A and B are shown apart, each in its own frame.
Chain A
Amino acid sequence: MEFLLLGSVALYFLSALGSLSFGRRSPGGWIVPLSSVLSSLMAVLPLVSVLACGSILDFRVPWGFPVGSFHVRMDMLSGWFVLILSLVSPAVALYGRGYLSNRGETVRGSWTGFFLQMLSGGIFMVLISYDGILFLLSWEIMSMAAFFLVMFDHPREENRRAGWIYLVATHLGTAFLFFMFFLLGAKAGSFDLDSLLGLGGMANLVFPLAIVGFGAKAGFLGLHLWLPEAHPAAPSHGSALMSGVMVKTGIYGVLRVLAMAQEWPQWWGWLLLILGVASGLGGVVHSVVQRDLKRLLAFCTVENMGIILIGLGIGVLGTGYDRSVGVIAMGGALLHCLNHSLFKAGLFMAAGSVIKTAGTGDMDWLGGLCRTMPRTGTAFLVLCLSVCGLPPFNGFVGEFLIYTASYLTVVPGAMSSVGLRIGGFVAISSLALVGGLAAMAFLKAYGMVFLGFSRSDGAAKADPGSDMVVPMSSLTILCLVLGLAGSASILMAGSVATAVHPLDLSLGSLTPLAEVSKAYLNVSFISFVLFGAGFWLWRLRARLQRDRTVSLGPVWGCGYGNPSARMQYTGSSFSQPVFAAFRSFLRSEVAGSLPEGYFPGPSIFHADTSGVFHRYFYGPLFGTVMKVVGEARKLHHGGTHLYVFYVFAALVAVLLWSLR
């Protein structure tokens, strides 16, 4: 088992090198997808033994470094996230082959393959490292591989800027993680996670560090700045892997810290909940007003991280009062991690297909692709329904769990603590609002890209090849299957959630999850019945229309018989109500001129929503840092006599200190 697990990781790194060595030749294109598929197949047995049988795979060898050791372990929590990686990674690799083909750039293709596999391998290592030093090492491999993917199209200036922002963000996060691990390691005398159990009594100091460190990777609101920059810049399969899986390592880190802590103070739950509400609402409001498809998806990732955090928050809060609520919400958060990976990776792939065939990702220049790219259009439709958490697709299952847990907190029962009830109250209202606005974002995304008239001549000619459609469709089908088999996935996620719980768990704690899972059978049942009813109505419709005149004509335009694509509603107009309602939050800069006079000339409208945090927090912060650093530069003007003086001063200082 351990051998298979290590082989599966090693294969990623080997295929990365393989992609470099053979990538210039045509068969090299197959190395990356094949090895990813093989890797996932190798991981099947270990995953089954961990997730289904509850065994723990552990492998440890000392290494040459003075600190740490090569200690790898896969338990339930790691296994769950490895499962996510193993599902998404092959699809991404296969898609990448199609996405990079006929770009006439085999060199870049081979490098992209290299970094893609390094990223997958790095994520894998992060998930199974059971030693602080090894963890940080893997964390850096993962972060740097992602950086090079963001820089894929480096000749364009905005991409270099995106890469730069990402680099700063990720290293700010890593700095906090270093601090956290060294605090823990110094106290415990070892970096092995086993010896850090209970967080050495520094739990309340470690937790905020973990939130900032892991939050920078997961894109919590305030630490999310790199997401909307980096995802559009990376090649689409890179964004799919980053947004689908890499971002989840941040969530994994938070969960790992929770699992290591022996008990969870209440304020952790509140912190997670408030962060979740902020990320959810902030992410979704920004998402609605984006013009660029991939930026919209990136902000939507922030929003979904918010939903996951709300689940974690209720989970941690609920644990203090009533175990069942905690387990249900945790299960919901974990399940939403899996689901979000599937549909977000699929959505990025669909967006990549659109960008590749239509040549732009700007929604105000797209439209009508449903007719030229039917397969991509249908897949995107299903993925939109999933991401909005609509039944019967998989997004609904995770949200259903988190909602149910929140509802359980307000219903009087074993616990009637006011604090917990307020928590549930906040969770329900924000989840509902986030859900509604997310629907708006995706109505816009799908409607503007795939429906109506094409808004520019450069719109797509045809569906991309099957090597791009197949991986996307397979994720789409997974979304439907996991949604219809929601009861099973609830039980799966539930068993992982119980493993994270700090309490000593008996088998009895699974009963609330079993109840929810049983309740969900009704949802699947109703879905099937409604599918049948819909099919019957569709048939009825066809039969009634069979012998009548059904003709085509122009749509109603108030008597104006010559509508053009330019007169269509654009994405910007569609999101105007949200734009207006959240004006004070978005702080957009709007410039433009209305048509005036009897013979109006051209009019212009331009809105820039760069985000509040850029302008009001990070701008001033980095400005101050620059000032301070600029002052410090004066100490270092290059004159030798100054340095001699420094040496002398240091000597004197040391002398004085030793004479104390």
Chain B
Amino acid sequence: MTIEQTMKSFPKPSQIEVPAGAEGWEDLYPYNLVFDNAPGGDEKFWFCDSQHWPTVFKPFETIGGEFAVKCLGQYNTRHLLIPPANGIEFKIHLGYLYMSPVGVPEEEIAARVPEFERRAGHYFQNWDSLLEAWHSKVRATIDEMEDLTFEALPDAVPFDDIVSGKAMDGSQVLMENYDRLIALLYRNWQYHFEFLNLGYLAYLDFFGFCKDVFPGIPDQAIAKMVQGVDMELFRPDDELKKLAVQAVELGIQSAFDDTDDVEGTLRAVRDAGGEEWLVAYEAAQDPWFNFTVGNGFYGHDKYWLEHQDIPLGYIKDYVRRVDDGQDIMRPVEHLLAEKERIIAEYRELVSPELQAQFDAKRGLAATAYPYVENHNFYIEHWAMGVFWRKVRELAGVFVEAGFWADPADMLYLNRNEVRDAIFDLVTGWAVGAESTGPHYWPAEIERRRVIIDALSTRRPQPALNTPPAQITEPFTMMLYGITTEQVQQWLAGDEGSEDGAITGMAASPGVVEGLARVITSADQLGEVQEGEILVATITAPSWGPIFGKIRATVTDIGGMMSHAAIVCREYGLPAVTGTGSASTTIVTGQRIRVDGNAGRVEILQD
């Protein structure tokens, strides 16, 4: 890279060398998502959305990025006609997702204003009833997805179907249900964004107002004035806490000695007379165990429902803490009182003529904003959890038919290839001859696995090409924390701040010192010890139980509204987010000082 580029630009995609062994990676992804085939790859500014997609896509998983980012765009561009912002273009480079916000031509902005006001106004004025309808729509979609079945084909059509003259062999269920599964997922992603951009919009409006009236007001103060306290997103964790408290009350603590053995643990509970607890445990699962330790975008994300050692492990930890006399429940009343105090104090400082505006803007943001936090449970956790479970059921049918060895292997096929494979499967079965798949896919999956593994050895470039002088697109700033300053900081590379501190967003207030625990995947969560400081690429809201153990959080990715920021504010822990490099700079065991007020992390001792 030339000096000039380090100063002003990120590399062009075409200049970046492909990792050894990953040659031909482009063919794993849809043609329209590869830079080489699409316009603007080497010119436009692209930033990597490693906040949502921190690891390399396997071919099937691109569906998450495609549906999500497409549906994000449709609301700006086609539903709401947001005056200055269309959607976000997206491409895949070396397995990672890159985004480029699409502006609206200057001359078209004014014309969109009346339509935008009419449409957004309708939503804001009918928020509660529309949101209630949203819950029904999403729930119906999830239920329908849940009802889809993927089963091995029978040796012979049942006699009943002969009698009824059904005239179908059952393979149509496989074919129709696959198409239906994809269609339902798509539908859910459209629902996902129905309120989200509006929530951000109302928040941004109040945010801008506060920054005008109180220059330098901490971002987190604004967030505290609108964010929910008793949120659905925290329900799964709250359920575990309740179960832990109940277990202690019933005196069945010893049943949780080995929670890796799920069956054994539940048996021990029953043996200890914990029938009542088992009923509560069962009840908590629907829907609250539809909760992933990842972010719902990957086939490898583990859901509590299918990996009950995870929630049981958390319960075990909570049981120990309750036994130690700790109060594990979130201080909801205290948090609510603190929120009310903050609102009242700022309100008192607003000049009387602006108080009505303060109330209106805060009120709207407080109405709309909780959706931003709560939707996550319904789509990313619940709907995606059901989706991935159904994908695994389908993959199991293929495993049984000898197409590949492990259900997870199916993720190396893209979604259209899966459809082809279903054709192949049902054809072989119907004809009574061998399918081609078992002779083709194992080797091809292995070839692809090598490529994905090679791509995974490298962290993505944070951005590509030349950034604009100023980043002004509000959603990019809000959702991704991509600000002019952030981009400049990336460009400054590893130089860091003058005194060697790692800097990021002051996402949750407070200052603590402690030992760092660097986590790069949810599978390592078990390593986190009481009183450590969590350092991670990103966090997921489902890591809730961890936040009861740790003293602070530092992430590479994310802004004020990232999961880590929201959860830490909720749990009263300091957080610094969007550092870019904390997880690669800090080493587990180092003593660090996290200043959530200033957005600084210092390494005190190796």
**Does A pair with B?**
no
By a beta-carbon cutoff of 8 Å, the part of chain A in contact with chain B is none
By a beta-carbon cutoff of 8 Å, the part of chain B in contact with chain A is none
